[in-house]
Amino acid sequence: MPNDDAGEIHPLFQGAPTSTEFRKLRKRLVREVRDAIHAYAMVERGARWLVCLSGGKDSYTLLAVLHELQWRGLLPVELIACNLDQGQPGFPATVLPAFLTRMGVKHRIEYQDTYSVVMDKIAPGGTMCSLCSRLRRGNLYRIAREEGCSAVVLGHHRDDILETFFMNLFHGGRLATMPPKLVNEEGDLFVLRPLAFVAEADCDRFARAMNYPIIPCDLCGSQDGLQRQQVKSILDGWEARSPGRRQVMFRALKNARPSHLLDPALFDFAGLALDASGAESAAGFTRMPPNLRHAD
């Protein structure tokens, strides 16, 4: 196993701060990514992953931690980084190729002018994010197939997952969010989110400490009044008034109880019956513990 003290370290971590605080941060990131990969059975031994790199703090963190795990023999997959240059005016096209080459990271840079398509289709003042995301995802799926990858790996973190849950709750009328692992509509690629347990603030601290060349999203990130920004502000307010609230809410997403929701497709309410002892039961469903059956 590589040893930092012996000078055996992936180039992505060269120049890392030696402070105790940073070491704890790095250790926490690696642990949380390992936990998510294990919890959602993301690894198929010998697989090839297309790791999507936008140039933002989250994707840099994703790239570094995955290479850390691979470097230490804990991630038995092949990694190829990919950046999709979408043709935004002023996009620094040389930054990521130079960085990835210097870091010794296998990569592919793809140019597709989706920016012009978005600008042509969306009325002035309209929200660009949805169309931009669909076009980007379609291209990434194509690239993954061309590269022989079985998974497209994205840098969405815990806060993205929470925000998406509340966007669906407030605006979509459904309980749903970004899952850590899913299969695309075509059924030929996994979509993975190994940062699912990682806080956005940790991604920010890590990328800044490593001095990675951050590229801001000037296409959709500059739009004001987006639903995601509104939800983020709500969550920020809750977190400020009650520190740790985000983690509690995220934990709830891993602790769903269909019998205590209202979807008859998830729980057989029609099949509820009383057994001889007077306890409730539903055929084909796991019975709730006695102390939870009558929770409000």
- The pLDDT tens digits of the residues spanning 56-114 come to 999 999 999 999 999 999 999 999 999 988 888 888 889 999 999 999 999 999 998 87
Contact (Cβ atoms closer than 8 angstroms) between residue 48 and residue 109: no
DSSP letters spanning 112-174: --HHHHHHHHSPTT---HHHHHHHHHHHHHHHHHHTT-SEEE----HHHHHHHHHHIIIIISS
Identify the segments of the chain with pLDDT beneath 70. 1-8, 123, 125-128, 217-225, 277-296
Contact (Cβ atoms closer than 8 angstroms) between residue 92 and residue 54: no
**pLDDT value, residue 134:** 84
Contact (Cβ atoms closer than 8 angstroms) between residue 22 and residue 211: no
Tokens of 13: 């971590």
Q: Which residues pair with 181 in a beta bridge?
A: 192
Residues of the chain with CATH 3.40.50.620: 4-253
**pLDDT value, residue 227:** 81
Element (H, E) at 19: none
Question: What CATH number matches the domain at 4-253, 3.40.50.620, 3.40.50.150, 1.10.274.10, 3.40.50.10800?
Answer: 3.40.50.620
- The predicted-structure confidence for 177-196, as pLDDT tens digits, reads as follows 999 999 999 999 999 999 99
Residue 259: partners with Cβ closer than 8 Å, 6 or more residues away = 267, 282, 285, 288
